[in-house]
Structure 1
């Protein structure tokens, strides 16, 4: 089940809201847990078992870590067990086939791939449950007494499938007591509709442009056509993922939860370092706190610090997918961040803003080429086209046709990737006390999104596969 579906919008969500708002306060975590399991198991009920096993194992680990918090050696064993268990679970389902296929490809044909389907959201909920005993061990959280409340935290459907990655310590108090006010509920609806509009009206439509270019014949291809395709993909993945995060944050508000922000207009960044402070914030902060800092962070020699950055970005690439292109993608950003840290960032900050923005956008677009094509042969050919090493023209009629048909959409996408619309809303609607316009915008957005969903044959969530 996805948020941008008729069954979710007009069946599942209304039922959940009615149940949650009419049930006694002490039972709301239980109902949230059970209803979230229904949401998760809608497409593949079997994988509910994995989610429950992960929940129970880390609940028990957290209990014993807290019990032996004054005996660090014993507590540490339970933390290590949690790490090994969660990474083992993630590794088996996500990376087993990749590893076996890679070994087979170089002649080590000892085993065969199993062809297992990747459990949806496993990259997100394993990181969440793994952080729970670690935070207790560090003294940053206390053990949750109720397994039901812990289960509600792990399975909470707004953020279960594609984040943001919610750490237990950030939500522990809200599991016990949270403010479910009408004002927060209204904010939640507004935020949800912003995310739904991003996904349905922007991401899906520009995604069709990318798919069209991706499947174009060699006679239709030109250098600018390929660049347009990568720009389209860059917009698609941003509005798809940030739209999902907006919907998750909005749904959280409807139930009284405050989930952390996951995006902050990354395409206005002036460096790669800044880009990764604005993009997928919850993942970046997770790797910072649980990998980068424990390795020594930047409080070490320059050589060790470079190693730490490279390790983090190798793992970040692997986290996104079991394919060589994701490893290359992670290493690409790791190398760029090392170069910026060593010398480039200081020099870049002295350059005009337009130079900083151009530098960042070009490098980010190149990264999306690596990210988009898992087939290394296709990836290589795409780069040949992009940089003029293939036998294709610089511009052709097909590119002009695509630009003419999608010009307005591209302008809307560019503006929407900046804070401009938010600033206009705050100044001319909130600033002039015209909040009565907001319900009209929300209703209009819902009607428009529903029309697009009913008519759409293309409605993927890109980050579901991670």
Structure 2
């Protein structure tokens, strides 16, 4: 599918775009869309680069989701207008009057009702009726809109004075489909006059390649084992293979999503946006709470700043703390999807977080080795709930994880050895790259000749793999 928009800054950008342009780990994106975009972007005068970014992002989205591009544009335009109406004029006689505050609150409520309503309609509607399609990236761009309105209302950010700046913030293609969820205040200056130093461009390119390697060389390969387990049927796998599947899916999801985040942040840095940390060695966590402080950090900070703290956080007593955590994790589950398994997943994670707060969190902090074992058992179990959408299949899988329930019958008791012989090197590689010492070593040596050589090897290995395999979209695209 091509998009018939031609002659943008002298280039026929529409002719090189198709559905695969949305997927960073595709040859079309890496060798057609991205190079042409960067050439156009840097040939354009600085003050017009935000326009190039906005138009390119909309064209890219339209190629993959043509039926929802008008929804994205309408939500963007409406939030821009609401933000302008909430803006306080410092030259007015009473810029902070009670009347002005009431007016701002009305505009804020309108924005929240619209953004939450649109998100809820598609999330719940898609879960209830498969004919209602879920717009790509809606969970991410609506959260950016909500955070923008909240920050403008609270006075933490100035309302955008230019639609091009606001449109670029909401729709920028590096973050549009799967985040990270950047705050407007962090991006405003970079979008007004996008500039990039050679050092920043180099670091962005390095992150892009590392993210590509994590996705193509680790996540996609680990996904083959999970696909094999699904093909066999959950009721027929052995207990060891069920546990191996849970661990494998946990690693696959991590390298898939962190790979995307690194690529998104890297591309952003290549056009002058600031670095955003979205993961911090989550599998080195010592508790479930600690894990979620390290995993998808921009989503966690969003719920903290716009839900948990406004509800009172931990400042209003124990019952209120428990209620606040329940609400946050219920909403986190709903954010990922409207189907029942996501609600169960959110509630389950919330229960462990609450238990750690109330009962055994201090005990975990005193037993380092056991706390790591605890995380590597509990987190994969929660990811199984996340991965298996059918409650019936979920019950069967847990019956195989814990066979004393007597669910299912193993067809091949030695099946785990077959798959370990095929995937042991990938599993060891996945665990190896979860170790903080690996990233510490790389950051220390990344500007040495062998650091550059390593990045080049990762790039060409990933490209070779892409040229010989079907394209696999990122897992978080479905949210």
Answer whether TM exceeds 0.5 for this pair: yes
For 2:119, the equivalent position in structure 1 comes to 90
- 1:393 deviation in Å? 5.2
For 1:459, the equivalent position in structure 2 comes to 472
Structure 1 pair 238–209 and aligned structure 2 pair: CA distance change class (3 A): same
Once the two structures are overlaid, the 10-residue window that deviates more, 37-46 or 196-205, is 37-46
Match of 1:377 among 367, 392, 399: 392
Once the two structures are overlaid, the 10-residue window that deviates more, 79-88 or 387-396, is 387-396
For 2:238, the equivalent position in structure 1 comes to 222
In 1, Cα distance between equivalents of 2:300 and 2:156: 19
In 1, Cα distance between equivalents of 2:132 and 2:41: 35
For 1:189, the equivalent position in structure 2 comes to 205
Once the two structures are overlaid, the 10-residue window that deviates more, 218-227 or 86-95, is 218-227
In 2, Cα distance between equivalents of 1:318 and 1:349: 30
Kept in 2: contact 1:214–1:229 (CA 8 A)? no
Q: Deviations over 1:200-229 (max 9, x none)?
A: 000000001111011114785100011111
SS across alignment from 2:135: coil
For 1:172, the equivalent position in structure 2 comes to 188
- 1:344 deviation in Å? 1.3
- 1:426 deviation in Å? 3.7
In 2, Cα distance between equivalents of 1:410 and 1:96: 37
For 1:107, the equivalent position in structure 2 comes to none
Kept in 1: contact 2:50–2:168 (CA 8 A)? yes
For 1:408, the equivalent position in structure 2 comes to 425
Once the two structures are overlaid, the 10-residue window that deviates more, 60-69 or 368-377, is 60-69
For 1:47, the equivalent position in structure 2 comes to 68
Match of 1:366 among 381, 399, 403: 381
For 2:454, the equivalent position in structure 1 comes to 441
Q: Deviations over 1:153-192 (max 9, x none)?
A: 1111111100011111221222223441111100011000
Task: Say whether 1:270 aligns with 2:286.
Answer: yes
Once the two structures are overlaid, the 10-residue window that deviates more, 50-59 or 340-349, is 340-349
- 1:448 deviation in Å? 1.0
Unaligned 5+ runs, structure 1: 102-112
Measured on the aligned residues, the alpha-carbon RMSD in Å equals 1.6
Q: Deviations over 1:41-93 (max 9, x none)?
A: 11221211111111111111111111376211110011110000001111112
Report matched runs for 1:146-161 at 5 Å: 146-161=162-177
User: What's the TM-score once normalised by structure 2's chain length?
Assistant: 0.91
Question: After TM superposition, where is structure 1 displaced by more than 6 Å over at least 4 residues in a row?
Answer: none
User: What's the TM-score once normalised by structure 1's chain length?
Assistant: 0.93
For 1:106, the equivalent position in structure 2 comes to none
SS across alignment from 1:117: coil
In 1, Cα distance between equivalents of 2:292 and 2:419: 31
Kept in 1: contact 2:307–2:328 (CA 8 A)? yes
In 2, Cα distance between equivalents of 1:217 and 1:180: 51
For 1:108, the equivalent position in structure 2 comes to none
Unaligned 5+ runs, structure 2: 1-21, 90-94
- 1:116 deviation in Å? 1.7
Kept in 2: contact 1:223–1:392 (CA 8 A)? no
